[in-house]
Chains A and B, each alone.
Chain A
Amino acid sequence: MTTDGSHQVLTFVLGNETYGVDILRVQEIRGWSAVTKIPHAPAHVLGVLNLRGSIVPIVDLRMRFALERVEYTTVTVIIVMSVSTPAGRRDFGVVVDGVSDVVDVNSAEVKPAPELGSRSATDYIRGLVSVAERMVVLLDIDRLIGRDLALSAGADGDEALAASAA
């Protein structure tokens, strides 16, 4: 990640908030299509999709952020991104309400996220930046999703199984 100069960020909307991710992590943007459910997955992992021959898990960011669920519509999009995890690069898709723009963000203007009680609640936020008078929350997707994927892969059966059996 660049520490100086500016870099490009893809912004997207989720409820009333605008979020941003490093554009270099974005593989593609596609419309919503039905996914295949996977057993024993965390609730926000909706299932998997066929992305040009590879099987890619799809995460609902609204559910991840504990926002109210909405119906998927024709404008609902999936942003396919790559995260780096201890196990190597992994691709996954996030369902968001809509994609807004690609903006240049000057690294110097990025403000750290304020500490809000528990640290784990905000450690996936790289910072906040103001773009055209809107607050954009820059996400660290490695922390946000990478850890989820590692968890879902590591703890596979038993916990999820016990949960589903309960």
Chain B
Amino acid sequence: MTVDLTQFHAAFFEESFEALDAMEAALLKLDVGSPEPELINTIFRVAHSIKGGSATFGFSDIASFTHSLETLLDELRGGRMAVTVAVSDLLLKSVDVLRAMLRAVQAKQPIDAQRVSDLQFDLEVAIARKDEPPAAAGPAVAAAGALSQPGVGGEAAAPKPPRWRVRFHPYRELLARGNDPLRMLRELAALGELEVRVDAQMLPPLADINPQDCYLAWSLELPGEVSEEAIRQVFEWAEGDCDLTIERPACAPEGLREAGLPPQTPAATPAQPTHQAAAAQSPPPPRPEAPAKQEASVSALGDSGSIRVSVEKIDELMNTVGELVITQAMLSQLGSHFDGADAEKLRGGLAQLERNMRELQESVMRVRMLPISFVFSRFPRMVRDLAQRLGKQIELKLTGEQTELDKTVLEKIGDPLVHLVRNCIDHGIESPEARIAAGKSGEGTVHLDAYHRGGNIAVEVSDDGGGLDGERILAKARDRGLVGAGDTLTDAEVNELIFLPGFSTAEKTTDVSGRGVGMDVVRRNVKQLGGKVEVRSERGRGSRFTITLPLTLAIVDGQSVAVGTETYIVPLISIVESMQLKSTGVTRLSGHSEVLSFRGDYLPIIRLHELFGVEPRSRALHEGLVVVAEGDGRRVGLFVDDLLGQQQVVIKSLEANYGHIEGVSGATILGDGSVALILDVPGLIRAASTRAAA
């Protein structure tokens, strides 16, 4: 029977990437010298499950690499090797390589074999060298040795129970009875690190082989933590079709290993006499804490009662709920027109329905929300690597990791944050010497924080470095002709300059930052999410970048405006002010374009009815209203007939069935079921200027 395994690939990749994140997080927490066993176990489990999965799916390169990795981890786990900085670096590199390999396989692209084999070689060298521990590792090994005395070991370094030895000798007809030794071995491998030796002595010459018979026997070794019951369960169906012995030697084999002897296995001894009832050879009962420990690790591994649901399904659910909200709004409108005895009851019911609807909508929205820790988790590693490379000492503080954001926003905020954090490390934090000279501690701090503010989420990246150098920024801006030689700017205006395209004051271009792409990209990305970036800086004290984001991309706070019979939604975040014009406040430039005087500035007026080809109620500016809106750093006055009200609207895609419309970011469905377009102010400004140029 062949099963199409490709259907499981997506899940394998997804789980493996998540597992690698967990592994990386555990590695970063790992203390050199005195590692916490649970962390090593976590790391080991990840390597192990990736190895198992990749072997199953035939990704042999990954399986082979993880095998070396696993061997090294097992040495660490058994306390036979100390966790040194070099080892921890090696393991972090392995995470990177594994990730790259998985990505390559996922994209069906060739694996960077050189990089893999180099690292695999390093891993193997490290394993081989464990017997000549470096000076620093010496005491750790000694300490572990002392602790492994029975009865002394605390939780931290509980001595390992001796390993299980299993002799599995199937009868020839095993295969015919529907048993598959390979499957059983895989199951065993899933229980713990499995050592397998095959005994092929009974294999007849090729000509005599009956392909339906089983001629092989196996000697297996499993970690002592595995319960005997679990092992027996694997062989449950094979009982009666094989000779099986499961035993555990009284003394731990660790001693032998450390003495450099190969582990003694039953394979070396002649096959045991046939014992159908292997249970008669009952091994000593496992140590009482062993099963408990296993349970604990299972719960640590297991999910916290969550299920994986495709985003598509949630979107469908959101759509349906959105529809319900509209239907409910229509009913409420209708209900308000009724008279009579039952009308009051009807209205009561409708009010109740409205409350329930709102709760339902909120719950569904929450399903899409994920804690920002998904994004933050990549930073400890990044900061560690960068600090190392730049020779700086940096402490990363993460707070507010549980703040929840819409999944779509979350996916897009990662890159801007990476830019900001890199900038803080590269430009912000000074070298330890410079810091000490400035009277600060040698270790700089980068702080990532997320919190709710109003209907928005604020994400802050701050550092206690040198702050923005206003003079240098200004000099650079003058140099590039961005600022006139005679212009004087406020500090805030100077700081704003760094968001201009092509602006970088890094003295030398590093691969970290300083290529002049960065802050403007950050600002643009954040704007695309409907948010904004602000910077505050104090010379010598550090700088703070604040990104303000909407809670979700699915909903926008909007101002409804009327133009003729059409309704448009202007996102509140783009609105500066709305006002009624006096006929004197407007100047006509060169006959056609109209300009409005607003707080000492002159803003071009965009007549929405002209741009969108709609018949307005009035063409006279003083009979309508002007909404002052801002986009891409430019302000304009949008001329509309009327303001209708503020409301949260659910954003619907126009592109799904139609296409992109300049100046429109999407559409929404109003309470009466009709469609209103949501304006994209930066796009409008662009459209209007193209138009003016034409």
Contacts and interface: CB of A to CB of B under 8 A. Distances in A.
Contact of B691 (A41, A149, A165): A165
B141 interface: no
Contacts of A57: 657-658
A161 B652 contact: no
Nearest to B321: A53
B669 A154 contact: no
Interface in A127-166: 149-150, 152-154, 156-158, 161-162, 164-165
A10 B505 CA distance: 67
A54 interface: yes
Interface residues of A, number: 34
B677 A38 contact: yes
Nearest to B611: A39
Nearest to A47: B675
B580 interface: no
Contact of A53 (B652, B664, B691): B652
Contacts of A47: 675
Nearest to B322: A53
A74 interface: no
B656 A156 contact: no
A4 B276 CA distance: 65
A124 to B, nearest CB: 19
A50 B675 contact: yes
Majority secondary structure, B binding face: mixed
Interface string B667-694: 1010001111100000000010011001
| Interface residue range, chain B | 20 to 34
B611 A34 contact: no
B658 A49 contact: no
Contacts of A48: 654, 658, 667, 675
Contacts of B667: 36, 48, 55
A52 B660 CA distance: 21
Given A157-B690, A158-B690, A161-B690, A38 B658 contact: yes
Q: Which of B612, B613, B655, B658 has the most CB of A within 10 A?
A: B658
Interface in B614-632: 614
Contacts of A40: 613, 661-662
B318 to A, nearest CB: 9
A113 interface: no
Contact of A154 (B323, B614, B659): B659
Given A50-B673, A162-B694, A153 B566 contact: no
A56 B614 CA distance: 20
Contact of B657 (A36, A37, A39, A54): A54
Nearest to A39: B612
A90 B655 CA distance: 9
A92 interface: yes
Contacts of B272: none
A120 to B, nearest CB: 21
B320 interface: yes
Q: Which of B323, B611, B652, B656 has the most CB of A within 10 A?
A: B656
A35 B675 CA distance: 8
Contacts, number: 102
A34 B655 contact: no
B653 interface: yes
Contact of A55 (B320, B612, B658): B658
B687 A55 contact: no
B319 interface: yes
A133 to B, nearest CB: 37
Contacts of B326: 50
B663 interface: yes
A91 interface: yes
Interface in B548-585: 566
Contact of B661 (A38, A54, A91): A38
A40 B319 CA distance: 27
A125 to B, nearest CB: 24
A103 B434 CA distance: 85
B662 A55 contact: no
Contact of B659 (A34, A153, A162): A153
A37 B667 CA distance: 11
A56 B657 contact: yes
A165 B319 CA distance: 37
Contact of A36 (B323, B611, B662, B675): B675
A142 B323 CA distance: 29
Q: Which of B326, B661, B687 has the most CB of A within 10 A?
A: B661
Interface string A10-39: 000000000000000000000000111111
Given A153-B660, A156-B662, A161-B662, A53 B655 contact: no
Interface in A68-119: 90-92
Contacts of B674: 34, 36, 50
Given A50-B326, A54-B657, A150-B659, 5 more contacts: A39-B613, A90-B656, A92-B657, A153-B658, A156-B661
* 6 A-B pairs closest in CB distance: A153-B659, A157-B662, A39-B612, A53-B319, A36-B675, A57-B658
30 contacts: A36-B566, A37-B612, A38-B664, A39-B662, A39-B663, A39-B677, A45-B658, A47-B675, A48-B654, A48-B658, A48-B667, A48-B675, A49-B675, A50-B669, A52-B323, A53-B652, A54-B319, A54-B656, A55-B652, A55-B654, A55-B656, A55-B667, A55-B675, A92-B658, A149-B658, A154-B659, A156-B660, A158-B690, A161-B694, A165-B694
